[in-house]
Structure 1
Amino acid sequence: MESFELNKFKIEHLFTYSIDVNADMFIQKLPTGGTRVTGTIAGGKVWGPKIQGKILPVGADWSTVYPNGIVDVDCRTMIETGDGAHINMFYKGRIDLGSEEAAADYANGKFPAVMGTQPMPVLDTDDECYDWCNHYACFGIGRVDFTNDPIVIQYDVYRYYATPFAEN
């Protein structure tokens, strides 16, 4: 078998954000066998080298919990930057709760104290100063802290890209 050199890539930290999610979740059993756990966004903050501002109190996280312990995350919200731009942010992600028992607990509103999560944020805006958001592929590394009310979800968001195609 022929071997190939791995593609080169770079990773750049863009920003960190912390979202407050109302602890009063909506829980619905789905006809597909999963459970929808929805938490509405109460606000938050954004800081970092590329974006500073706040998370507006709009949107929600519509997670689907499956009996095998997998949670598919589907979140939508909006960032308002310190200079007044609005950036839509939506992301999907996956959480592995580790067991069927943990999935049953989660689906019934019994959450772990803290858990890790890996989102894939997509950003878009019509503000010319932040047009770069429309071109970036991102990933996040984060954690959910259920010990607070509101619940605190915090992510570090990174841009990743192949080189030498995009150096800036």
Structure 2
Amino acid sequence: MDKEPKTHRWLPRFTIRELLLAMVAVGAVVALFAQRQPFGRHKMLQSLDPYSTVVKICSDVGVKVQNTSSQQASGVVFGGGYCVESDSEYSELGYADATTKVMPKLLGHIRDAIESDDGEIVGSGISGSTDESVVSRFSLQYRRGQIRGVARAYAFELPEGGTRILVLMDEY
């Protein structure tokens, strides 16, 4: 009798160890992507308009300002973080008024905004006086859960008179 050879289907065969290693590898990749998912934007960054804040502070302290130029940008940065940038020049705001009246109030405003949204300030750097009555620049590092952030502001005296105020905020 002619017996035809049986055709065997080819099926991959794995050991338990190989399957376990494959599961660990897949789990590690999934965990990596789940950890890097974009997070909820800090409420403060959604509501912060540095230019309007500076103009309001100037109005509150009785300093007249005329904005000669202003640029503001915000958005998502690589890796899922957020940023806010504001660069404004004020022709009628003198540098002395900016560092003694506006910047200390801006520092307090940003500090209060961070803390009111359950943020914790974990580091700071302030250039000016120790009692914060004169502030030419500041930096506040904060965290809120797993989110980390830094808020920075600088006042520059313009050669033709007036002041430039730069505000940068990053969350990651």
Kindly indicate whether structure 1 or structure 2 has the higher relative contact order, using CA contacts under 8 Å at least 6 residues apart.
Answer: 1
TM-score between the two structures when normalised by the length of structure 1: 0.26
TM-score between the two structures when normalised by the length of structure 2: 0.25
Which structure features the higher share of strand residues? 1
Which structure features the higher share of helix residues? 2
